Amino acid sequence: MRIPFGTISVTARSKELINEILTTNRLSSGKYVREFEKRFAELVGAREAVAVSTGTDADALALAVLYDYGAKRNDEIIIPALSFVATGNAVLQAGFIPVFADIDVNTLNIDPAKIEERITEKTKAIMPVHLMGKPADMDAIFGIAHKYNLYVIGDAAEAHGAVYKGKNVAVCGDMAAYSLYVAHIISTVEGGIVTTDDAGFAEIMRSLRSHGRACKCESCVLNRTSGYCNKRFGNGENHDIRFIFERIGFSAKMNELEAAIGIGNLDIYDDILKKRRDNLYYLLDKFQAFDPHIVTIRKESYEDIGPHALPIIIRENPRFDRPKLANFMEERGIDTRTLFSSIPTQCAGFDFLGYKKGDFPNAEYIGNYGLHVGVHQDLSRPECDYILNAIRDFLNTYV
């Protein structure tokens, strides 16, 4: 038996579109990227969606929008200490400084009680991460953001389908940034997308993903045609408007082949989401039997978790540690991943920020004792039971 962490669904329609794209030779960002954006926005109830090359770019571009609203390089963005390292990388790539707040071990998300003490004059935004698809405590975060006039940009990389108090996390806050990497709920292989209700933010992101270009014509922004454009030199100056750059940009466009995979995923989204959510909620329920030795997250009545993966957290127990559990599961063919690390104190690249071990005890705890396994759409109920049996056998052996 082999239970892979993730899967990717490539539908017959995606294959047809890919053939068409290859035949017509229109591969770079164009009409299918636009179709994907429109359908993604509709699906989550956002006014706009801007597709980019990766989830990391989605985070970085959403943050870089803030330069148009008065932010300066080296201003600060508050993020949770525990996340996939991409959240921290994206803040730096956008030219800001990540300032970390510890997490709550029960939710795996930023602890709102730790945010206010991190706010300085340079703070511009809070970027909560809905880790493992579990919505962050948005009411508390909005309360702080309003008090200090901060933007809220969600890292929803793992939170497709997550709902917080009746609202899709896509529209909780100023923008939400998704990863569309393989193994994520909607995938374009590599890819990311930012949702927002603010058309101005979306326009800036369309410029940012294309080097900071000034031209806002549909044909240029959406790469509709490579034909004649009478506006290029029609600006009264000796400049080609396609080569005027009004902000520091990125090169972060999605291509048509990726959009074709994404469109196929949107066609079967309800089915993907249902299968994954059934798997996750089944496993969450059964995991109660492993408490107090091994625990996971809880679904609250006011939320729906985006079924990205199943977190597994070892409660401190001298009789076994994470490598022992991970090896036991891997030997039985179950793919495991660690549950990330404390970015500031367990990821060497962030040492220059000067944090020290012990600064983020909860994030570090999960960094030492957390794992996650897949709940994907190709995972059957007997395979879920196989995972549960492996953990049961493990506990019977070591507790």
Ligand X SMILES: Cc1ncc(COP(=O)(O)O)c(C=O)c1O
Output the smallest distance, CB 109 to ligand X, in A: 11
Residue 311: asked if its preceding bond is cis (omega within 30°), the reply is no
Distance CA 248, CA 73 (A): 11
E strands in the chain: 48-52, 76-80, 82-83, 97-101, 123-126, 151-155, 163-164, 167-168, 175-179, 192-196, 294-295, 303-304, 309-314, 337-338, 341-342, 370-374
Task: Say which amino acid occupies 117.
Answer: E
CB nearer to ligand X: pick between 103 and 220: 103
Output the smallest distance, CB 274 to ligand X, in A: 22
Alpha helices in 157-307 (DSSP H): 199-208, 218-221, 256-267, 269-287
H-run or E-run covering 369: helix 361-369
Output the smallest distance, CB 279 to ligand X, in A: 19
Tokens 């571009």 belong to residue = 61
* Residue facing ligand X at closest CB distance: 55
CB nearer to ligand X: pick between 48 and 59: 59
Distance CA 353, CA 375 (A): 35
CB nearer to ligand X: pick between 29 and 220: 29
70 Cβ contact partners less than 8 Å away, ≥ 6 residues apart: none
Output the smallest distance, CB 62 to ligand X, in A: 11
CB nearer to ligand X: pick between 171 and 252: 252
Tell me, what DSSP letter sits at residue 348? G
CB nearer to ligand X: pick between 67 and 181: 181
Token pair for 40: 């993604």
Output the smallest distance, CB 12 to ligand X, in A: 25
Residue 72, phi then psi, degrees to nearest 5 = -120, 155
CB nearer to ligand X: pick between 208 and 390: 208
Distance CA 354, CA 293 (A): 34
CB nearer to ligand X: pick between 78 and 129: 129
CB nearer to ligand X: pick between 260 and 391: 260
Output the smallest distance, CB 190 to ligand X, in A: 7
Interior angle at CA 54, CA 53 and CA 58, nearest 5 = 100
233 Cβ contact partners less than 8 Å away, ≥ 6 residues apart: 239, 240, 241
CA quadruple 316, 321, 325, 328: dihedral sign: negative
Distance CA 263, CA 286 (A): 34
Output the smallest distance, CB 142 to ligand X, in A: 20
CB nearer to ligand X: pick between 136 and 391: 136
Output the smallest distance, CB 140 to ligand X, in A: 20
Q: Which residues bind ligand X (CB under 6 A)?
A: 54-56, 59, 83-84, 86-87, 129, 155, 157-158, 179, 181, 192
Output the smallest distance, CB 217 to ligand X, in A: 29
